[in-house]
Structure 1
């Protein structure tokens, strides 16, 4: 600091030295005051803090809504009468592993570990289904209040209320989320699960878009969308889970959206023609290639809960075409596993080019067989599928005695889905975290290294949901990670555990996942993965989840959400906030 002293010999308050010192002290204290104000982090208002809206405030909000406010609780609380005296514990115990039931509970996540909260000192706050653990039921990470949005106007009122009161916002649909983005301790929830409507329109043309589209509101789940598309003689690209409880217009689409028929028809984002979204300003905007095209680009892969609340999506649908499915089941011995995987990865690039999809599972806990493959060959006859797969199937039968194979022709996707997934046991309600990587086409060239990595993963899931049409679409056509356009598969490993583990036991699980992640990274250093099925331990999530699209995604984010109302774990703009995502970094 430069201080200039003016000599005033006759100053009544003392010498020029004293005057100079007084000025310096005043400037110093002013600088400290300004610095303190400017450096104080801006934090969202959370439940329990003095800034939290009053009962009157919430009553005013409720008066504008189509439904009463909701007060989410962990669904397991029904088994604790002191916490939830009106709860039905029998219902919870009967349905806790059913994805469609869990999606109907505002306070439920499909993986209940995301309902818990771990304090910095290692204390866990949770509500466990196993009451014999003797641990009290508490709220954990489940928001305490929210809006049951049934109309666009409900969403707009909720967004405006959250913005006016500077609340931490979470957008919650079905709770399928491996990054915990749709729940947060002390937050205000916008629950879109009941925004349900489906309209099929063969003449839907949003400002020049192609014909034959299906319109879904945000709460529609894939089992509903599949039935509607089939009833109208169409097929739609959607999520593949037992029961199809994933939302059709939520995070699945906004993260990219893959399917076993993606190699035939592209990713979910490649089939979106238009959507509507309530942004941080409270506006309900339509976005397509001609209107708000920057937002249309960003939301298709930029991540759920990041750019606003999507209230509807219009998907391009396709003609129903025949499909031949081939399943392989066995309890494979460790002695031949490597040889079988080697033959599989050698086979795959050619099948990918032909638009085939497949799911491979190895070492899945509780599975009937420890090794399963399901091939889906679109527009391929039974005879041609047999010719293509015969060498591989013969190889497997020669090295493994108990192999069961089936090759079944279907008239279309819907009957295939019902046969293989409609009757499967539910797989939700389990504590689980994932690590994943997209497997590039070049990685298949070094099949020895690829197989070595696959051998080190248990459980191993190897989903051939890329290549084909996915690779034919220009990487910059949508905001989704461009690594998808050079991928042939998505590889997973996972950790699953019983509820009630201690923090120390959980840290061991985390280390296993981090080690698996490092092994996957060795496949293609600096590679990418699928945002919706990913690890919370990525060292550089901006690159791994979004690739070289990140800067453009961030610019669009700042344009439509300049205050950061919509912030989620590892999402676009999350690096501007602290680890809790409650306080903005200075």
Structure 2
């Protein structure tokens, strides 16, 4: 439908748009570092703001402008409907009301809502719903209210680089809030945004490999992937080679490997050996905020190349493809461990078992192991699935882990364990890592624990774990060392916070809260996450850092927590490549002056 729903819904808004008044404040057109004059003047809680253009504002593009954009992007511009809209009689959106009920589609979305891949294939869904305002979830009551919440207003399903360029140029020229979305695989709400236009890059699925990449800074085997390629697709392609090869990815198979993952760093089961995914990137093809296609590598746009490697997702450019180093795959072994309430009803004994387990974090990473574990949410539960020994026989892996089992036996702790050997790491990856679920609502935080913290302050760390649990949160842990196998001479070649090189455990903390909870309940949950849950971890592990893709974006001193001594350089690069603030993702370099005012809706600069 090249005109269809865009034209119908936009026309419903025209009278309201034309009745709105343009701001006359000179301050709006003189915001430092910004050129667009389509700002909207707002006052919020006693402060004056210059805001991006949103539906209903005088500067919101007219119907003919949207139609022109739609033609430019090959008819791939659409008005956005929330995933659950087919379950409701009508969708009441900012551009008008649409009849949406479809029993078959409702059944499909209800069944698929908890499935990550189902949500990924939707054009604008966020896999976790808190930052959507938890609006319009699948329901059995079609008479309920379905509104847009904080989902985007319109989206472009980009099929070509030119489509991405057109979307960026349109957003920049009209001062619209722009969201770049691939898989929606983020905890911080970066894939959604009230009043925004989305460019969806998930259709960029190209994969190619070579044994002889010959480019700046690297000669050797490599894989080049389009923006939409996911971990399971890249790994399957590499496994099909003879001999099979591997690359660094996240532990979750559905995550995209050429977008927010690498721009945030990208940790996973191979981090002990090769560092972050960002450390293995050798070249990017991107589109910058001026709409131009750029190559970034060690010689060309080298500052941008450095920033794209861990400097912050959706902050510097839109990635269209990335080339990464690849590595030989090897036989690997894994062990699972479970401590559960049925065999451990004594909380004191349980926490002593957790203390013993976690005290081995330095031992595990120094021996090249990767450990994925969960504490809670059921009390007295420790779920370790898996302990991974890459390029290890089962006997070698068991020898490293056996001291832990001996300690648990000496304590009298009940546990269950299983183990397996695999012909390749790829086989282990598919067999031992558990499938993650989508569609839940929660606030996510996290912190990392430095080697010296474990050595000097371990009792306080376990006390902090108990504080986290007592505050109604739970922990997902990842034991790895990004400085273990990567030569120190390589550490500064990416924008990763230098403190990460001495980390031995990376934690995610999760505080369940509904996205449509009352504002007071949301504020309480955010305070609990920032100041009690994560606050206790920061105090116990002062040598740690925070990982931008899995953290609390509202924590104090986030610039230092996410990037440490690299922050000022990143800020300069951001101002160079995006001086007008075309791109926005919460708590990334240069966003200090931006706020989401009016209960997290309008994106504005404080005057």
Query: What band does the TM-score fall into relative to the shorter chain?
Result: 0.7 to 0.9
Q: Which runs of 4+ in 1 moved over 6 A?
A: 32-37
> Which of residues 102, 110, 129 is equivalent to 1:93?
110
* 1:562 aligned residue: 579
Structure 1 CA distance for aligned equivalents of residues 64 and 350 of structure 2: 64
Structure 1 CA distance for aligned equivalents of residues 490 and 220 of structure 2: 21
* 2:246 aligned residue: 235
Structure 2 CA distance for aligned equivalents of residues 197 and 34 of structure 1: 47
Q: What secondary structure sits across from 2:387 in the alignment?
A: strand
* 2:440 aligned residue: 430
* 1:109 aligned residue: 126
Q: What secondary structure sits across from 1:433 in the alignment?
A: strand
Q: How does 1:142-161 map to 2 (within 5 A)?
A: 142-161=151-170
Q: What secondary structure sits across from 1:374 in the alignment?
A: strand
The alpha-carbon deviation at position 46 of structure 1 amounts to: 1.3
Q: What secondary structure sits across from 2:499 in the alignment?
A: helix
Structure 2 CA distance for aligned equivalents of residues 472 and 167 of structure 1: 42
Query: Is 1:238–1:259's contact at 8 Å kept on the other side of the alignment?
Result: yes
Pair 1:74 & 2:86 matched: no
Structure 2 CA distance for aligned equivalents of residues 440 and 474 of structure 1: 19
Query: Is 1:483–1:529's contact at 8 Å kept on the other side of the alignment?
Result: no
Q: Unaligned regions of 5+ residues in structure 2, if any?
A: 1-23, 32-40, 42-48, 92-98
Query: Is 1:328–1:403's contact at 8 Å kept on the other side of the alignment?
Result: yes
* 2:386 aligned residue: 374
Max Rg structure: 1
Query: Is 2:353–2:413's contact at 8 Å kept on the other side of the alignment?
Result: no
| Cα distance change on mapping 1:366 and 1:154 into 2, 3 Å | farther
Q: Deviations over 1:517-555 (max 9, x none)?
A: 210110234742100000133011111111111110010
Q: Deviations over 1:479-533 (max 9, x none)?
A: 1222211211112221124565333333332232121021011023474210000
> Which of residues 430, 433, 452 is equivalent to 1:442?
452
Q: What secondary structure sits across from 2:191 in the alignment?
A: coil
Structure 1 CA distance for aligned equivalents of residues 502 and 451 of structure 2: 6
Query: Is 1:116–1:127's contact at 8 Å kept on the other side of the alignment?
Result: no
Q: Which one has a larger percent strand, Structure 1 or Structure 2?
A: 2
Q: Deviations over 1:101-142 (max 9, x none)?
A: 10111231011112118xxxxxxxx22334569851100111
Structure 1 CA distance for aligned equivalents of residues 77 and 26 of structure 2: 41
Q: Unaligned regions of 5+ residues in structure 1, if any?
A: 1-31, 118-125
* 1:301 aligned residue: 310
| Cα distance change on mapping 1:370 and 1:385 into 2, 3 Å | closer
Q: How does 1:301-340 map to 2 (within 5 A)?
A: 301-332=310-341, 333=344, 334-340=347-353
Q: How does 1:76-225 map to 2 (within 5 A)?
A: 76-83=84-91, 85=100, 87=102, 88-116=105-133, 126-130=135-139, 136-207=145-216, 209-225=218-234
* 1:403 aligned residue: 415
The alpha-carbon deviation at position 170 of structure 1 amounts to: 0.7
Query: Is 1:264–1:378's contact at 8 Å kept on the other side of the alignment?
Result: no
> Which of residues 52, 58, 62 is equivalent to 1:50?
58
* 2:369 aligned residue: 356
| Cα distance change on mapping 1:500 and 1:180 into 2, 3 Å | closer
| Cα distance change on mapping 1:157 and 1:406 into 2, 3 Å | same
Structure 2 CA distance for aligned equivalents of residues 567 and 526 of structure 1: 29
* 1:455 aligned residue: 466
Structure 2 CA distance for aligned equivalents of residues 380 and 406 of structure 1: 16
The alpha-carbon deviation at position 34 of structure 1 amounts to: 6.7
Q: What secondary structure sits across from 1:457 in the alignment?
A: helix
Structure 2 CA distance for aligned equivalents of residues 33 and 274 of structure 1: 44
Q: What secondary structure sits across from 1:325 in the alignment?
A: strand
* 1:492 aligned residue: 508
Q: Deviations over 1:389-426 (max 9, x none)?
A: 212113224445642212212222210111113xx454
**TM-score, normalised on structure 1?**
0.87
Q: How does 1:239-278 map to 2 (within 5 A)?
A: 239-241=250-252, 244-278=253-287
Q: What secondary structure sits across from 1:449 in the alignment?
A: helix
* 2:6 aligned residue: none
Structure 1 CA distance for aligned equivalents of residues 360 and 428 of structure 2: 23
Structure 2 CA distance for aligned equivalents of residues 34 and 67 of structure 1: 38
| Cα distance change on mapping 1:200 and 1:365 into 2, 3 Å | farther
Q: What secondary structure sits across from 2:78 in the alignment?
A: coil
Structure 2 CA distance for aligned equivalents of residues 264 and 179 of structure 1: 28
Alignment size in residue pairs? 542
